[in-house]
């Protein structure tokens, strides 16, 4: 009796193991029924919901494209949670059950290289998805360079370009100089020297030049000429040290603060009462972060203006990658085609969401067209400025360690700015933090 039971149980177990495998084998031939998407915020979701033809929203984390269920897994980037999540699921993605396989995931500029160049391949190449180089001719070259692996294979695509501008508060400019004209304002912030002098003028009128020193960080760091890590050795670029010196001077004079980016205190300047003169950022900062939907915000009132600022720069950017082992190759390829190549959809994104899209000819045309004026910028059309910036973007200093180093650097320098440490102590703290995150690096 007992023996027979055991046999039955083991038969049932074996059956349970074989059956799902059979199902997998069947489905691998055709497209999967579930499209799993990994991302860290709502940005891409709203792009897909608003602009992908045939996308139906079911609830906050589910949607439908035809008969395919779309499942969103949103893991915030805080504390590296998003990457930890990717790291744990992507390497075994090919073996995962059909409905659990990640099909599409998003990459941010700071760590794109990590997933593009990984020893364990976690992305499908764009060529494997059946997308040809000719189809990508309109995209900005830098958006392709970032996600090209060491062997020259393209492994991701982006719908946006991320050249940054200085975004200033028009009312503050009126208050201080009696003009809100971008050309006039640009003369006040044309170089870091004039920028820092302007800070004093603004302070006299009760305005902070930027919300926090971390606002200018990306402008300096993007203009760095050496990467964070050279041949396994930690390296701090001179331009980043210039950020430290300039920022310390601003903080000591009381012209700005040391809040963390994304904190509530940082975001206060998005409203008139925050009394912040400017922020630095690409289109996504304007359209996605500045509370444009909220009544009373400067963006909602359309009282921001855009100028080139002291230095051109780029910041961030989101790439769409197909996860290795995806069973929805065609659908993923179609999403890429629609969002990153289809001119009509892309110009719609510009119109509806004030984004700057990755399509050079379309942007060249739109830059001349008043129909593309940004409401958040009081009717100014910044596309020409973005276009000029995008042409100049050079991300050759990008590496695998950018995000960890940036985070540790900003956190450590806060102590120096706040007067809790000398510069050397803060630098030591930075090095300590990096050595904890990346024990394989040599640090002097």
Q: Which residues bind another protein (CB under 8 A)?
A: 79-80, 87, 90-91, 114-115, 118-120, 122, 257-260, 263-265, 268, 400, 404, 411, 414-415, 418, 420-421, 425-426, 429, 432-433, 436-440
Token duo for residue 313: 């720069």
Smallest separation, CB 268 to another protein (Å): 6
- Least Å distance, CB 437 to another protein, is 5
Could you write out the DSSP letters of every residue in 160-206?
Answer: B--EEEEEEEHHHHHHHHS---HHHHHHHSSSHHHHHHHHHHHHHTT
Closest to another protein by CB, 100 vs 265, is 265
Pick between residue 112 and residue 188 the one whose CB is nearest to another protein.
Answer: 112
Longest CA–CA span in the chain (Å) reads: 96
Query: Helices 343-353 and 43-51 sit at what angle, rounded to 10 degrees?
Result: 120
- What backbone phi and psi angles, to 5 degrees, belong to 195? -60, -45
- Residue 71 C-beta: closest distance to another protein, Å: 23
Residue 313 host element (H or E): strand 313-314
d(CA 113, CA 327): 24
Q: How far is the CB of 11 from another protein (least distance, A)?
A: 26
CB of 75 to another protein, least distance (A): 15
DSSP per position, 354-418: ---BS-HHHHHHHHT-GGG-BGGGTTB--HHHHHHHHHH---TT--TTHHHHHHHHHHHHHHHHT
CA gap 110, 317 in Å, rounded: 9
For residue 37, the cross-strand partners are: 72, 104
Q: Could you give phi then psi for residue 72, rounded to 5 degrees?
A: -95, 130
Q: 414: Cβ–Cβ under 8 A, 6 or more apart, which residues?
A: 258, 260
Helix axes 238-252, 402-417, angle to 10 degrees: 30
Q: Are residues 308 and 189 in contact, defined by beta-carbon separation less than 8 angstroms?
A: no
Closest approach of another protein to the CB of residue 120, in Å: 5
């Amino acid at each position: 009796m007992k023996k027979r039971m055991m046999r039955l149980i083991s038969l049932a177990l074996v059956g349970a193991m074989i059956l799902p495998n059979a199902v997998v084998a069947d489905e691998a031939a055709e497209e999967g029924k579930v499209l799993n998407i990994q991302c860290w915020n709502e940005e891409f979701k709203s792009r897909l919901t608003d602009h992908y033809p045939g996308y139906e929203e079911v609830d906050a984390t589910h949607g439908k494209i035809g008969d395919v269920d779309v499942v969103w897994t949103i893991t915030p980037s805080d504390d590296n949670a998003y990457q930890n999540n990717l790291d744990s699921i992507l390497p075994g993605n090919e073996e995962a059950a059909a409905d659990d396989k990640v099909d599409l995931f998003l990459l941010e500029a700071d760590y794109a290289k990590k997933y593009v160049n990984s020893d364990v391949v976690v992305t499908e190449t764009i060529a494997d998805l059946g997308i040809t180089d000719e189809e990508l001719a309109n995209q900005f070259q830098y958006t392709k360079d970032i996600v090209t692996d060491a062997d020259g294979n393209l492994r991701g695509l982006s719908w946006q370009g991320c050249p940054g501008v200085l975004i200033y508060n028009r009312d503050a400019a009126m208050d201080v100089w009696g003009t809100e004209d971008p050309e006039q304002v640009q003369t006040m912030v044309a170089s870091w020297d004039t920028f820092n002098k302007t800070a004093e003028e603004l302070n006299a009128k009760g305005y902070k030049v930027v919300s926090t020193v971390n606002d200018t960080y990306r402008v300096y760091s993007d203009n760095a000429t050496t990467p964070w890590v050279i041949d396994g050795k930690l390296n701090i670029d001179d331009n980043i040290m210039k950020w430290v010196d300039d920022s310390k001077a601003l903080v000591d004079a009381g012209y700005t603060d040391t809040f963390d980016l994304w904190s509530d205190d940082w975001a206060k300047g998005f409203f008139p009462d925050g009394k912040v003169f400017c922020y630095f950022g690409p289109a996504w900062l304007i359209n996605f972060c500045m509370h444009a939907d909220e009544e009373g915000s400067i963006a909602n009132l359309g009282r921001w203006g855009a100028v080139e600022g002291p230095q051109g720069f780029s910041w961030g950017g989101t790439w769409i990658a197909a996860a290795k082992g995806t069973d929805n190759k065609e659908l993923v390829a179609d999403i890429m085609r629609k969002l990153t190549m289809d001119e009509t959809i892309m110009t719609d994104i510009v119109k509806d969401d004030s984004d700057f899209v990755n399509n050079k000819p379309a942007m060249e045309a739109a830059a001349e067209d008043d129909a593309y004026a940004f409401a958040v910028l009081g009717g100014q059309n910044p596309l020409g400025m973005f276009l000029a910036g995008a042409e100049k973007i050079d991300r050759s200093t990008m590496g695998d360690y950018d995000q960890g180093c940036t985070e540790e650097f900003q956190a450590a320098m806060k102590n120096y700015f706040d007067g809790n440490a000398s510069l050397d102590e803060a630098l030591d703290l930075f090095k300590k933090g990096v050595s904890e995150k990346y024990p394989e690096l040599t640090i002097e």
